[in-house]
Amino acid sequence: MKACVLSAPAPIDRRPLKYVEVETPAPAHDEVLVRVRACGVCRTDLHVVEGDLPSRLPAVIPGHQIVGEVSALGSDAGTLALGDRVGIAWLRRTCGACRFCLSGRENLCERAEFNGWSAHGGFAEYIVAPADFVYSLPAGFQDLQAAPLLCGGIIGYRSLHLAGIENWSGARLGIYGFGAAGHVVIQVARARGAEVYVCTRDRARHQALATELGASWVGDARDVPPVRLDASIIFAPAGELVPVALKGLAKGGMLVLGGIHMSPIPSFDYSLVYHERMIRSVANNTRADGREFLAEAARIPVRTHVQTFRLEDANEALMALQHDAIKGAAVLMIDSN
Ligand SMILES: [Zn+2]
Ligand SMILES: [Zn+2]
């Protein structure tokens, strides 16, 4: 099969992914082989490719927002059938036995594996994945539109959950950084009745899309919104935004850090967290998050904006992502409808 393989992390401008022929994987007893139709491109892929996340394999195929079709089954692959359309996300497998798995927090599993980092991902024509961690996808989403839901969407959903808001109607939510996750989160929050305030640095693309999707106010990344916010989520990997976002929070407000990696957070005055303001990160997701999000996204329905690239152009897609040049989400189109 064809795949984009990373052998040595390097700045994306050096085009570290190589488009090559590799052996098509075979599913183990509890796995399925999936023919990839589309694979979303996420900032985490950029962190893997550039080495912000330390390598877990000598060579790896990135990609963890996969939409495809089951094309072979292991001997014990549960209820899936050949031809089923499925989604595969970042969390590849958990141990099921550690204290986190046993307390409903499998996203924090001590021995978790991740697609596109500790195992080969979806920048390829085929992927194998454990059947228990594969999602069925609502019929309303086409392949390309479904791909960004599988990371930006699911992590965005978990970020909303961790924002700790019980009554969303009239709640004031801030979003810092308006890429794949942000443009899904605003749709979910608006459908729940929240007012959304968006701070993002790309006026042409991101600010226009935020306005189109119903933001109450849109400003630059460092602007302070006109009202105090009940919660904010930072999706940009920029630690300097933490004190900026804290300035915009109401008393008792929650600041959620939605990325897997962030540049150092500068020191700030205690007054920015006093009055019971809170900061917490988001790490991965549980399978329940994924299923709940996909059901809610189908009900709304969420509409993703995608910019497509060919599989062999994965480096270009990641460069565009790094330079804030994507409106919505980037998706590799492999064999999609
Ligand atoms: Zn575990
Ligand atoms: Zn991701």
**How does pLDDT run across 92-102, given as a tens digit for each residue?**
999 999 999 99
Average pLDDT over residues 163-174: 97
Bridge partner residues of 81 (DSSP):
none
Q: How far is the CA of 251 from the centre of ligand 2 (A)?
A: 31
Q: What is the pLDDT of residues 257-295, one digit of tens each?
A: 999 899 999 999 999 999 999 999 999 999 999 999 999
Q: How far is the CA of 227 from the centre of ligand 2 (A)?
A: 30
Q: What is the pLDDT of residue 335?
A: 79
Q: What gap in Å lies between CA 158 and CA 299, rounded to an integer? A: 17
Q: What is the pLDDT of residues 62-81, one digit of tens each?
A: 999 999 999 999 999 989 99
Q: How far is the CA of 260 from the centre of ligand 2 (A)?
A: 9
Please, which residues have CB less than 5 A from ligand 1, an ion?
94-95, 98, 101, 109
Please, which residues have CB less than 5 A from ligand 2, an ion?
42, 44, 151
Q: How far is the CA of 1 from the centre of ligand 1 (A)?
A: 32
Q: What is the pLDDT of residue 204?
A: 77
Q: What is the pLDDT of residue 336?
A: 58
Q: How far is the CA of 91 from the centre of ligand 1 (A)?
A: 12
Q: What gap in Å lies between CA 76 and CA 131, rounded to an integer? A: 9
Ligand nearest the Cα of residue 259 is 2
pLDDT, the chain, mean: 96
Q: What is the pLDDT of residue 288?
A: 97
Ligand nearest the Cα of residue 106 is 1
Q: What is the pLDDT of residues 11-67, one digit of tens each?
A: 999 999 999 999 999 999 999 999 999 999 999 999 999 999 999 999 999 999 999
Band of pLDDT at residue 337, cut at 50, 70 and 90: very low
- The pTM assigned to this predicted structure is 0.94
Band of pLDDT at residue 201, cut at 50, 70 and 90: confident
Q: What is the pLDDT of residues 298-323, one digit of tens each?
A: 999 999 999 999 999 999 999 999 99
Residue 206: CB atoms within 10 Å: 24
Q: What is the pLDDT of residues 115-160, one digit of tens each?
A: 999 999 999 999 999 999 999 999 999 999 999 999 999 999 999 9
Q: What is the pLDDT of residue 247?
A: 97
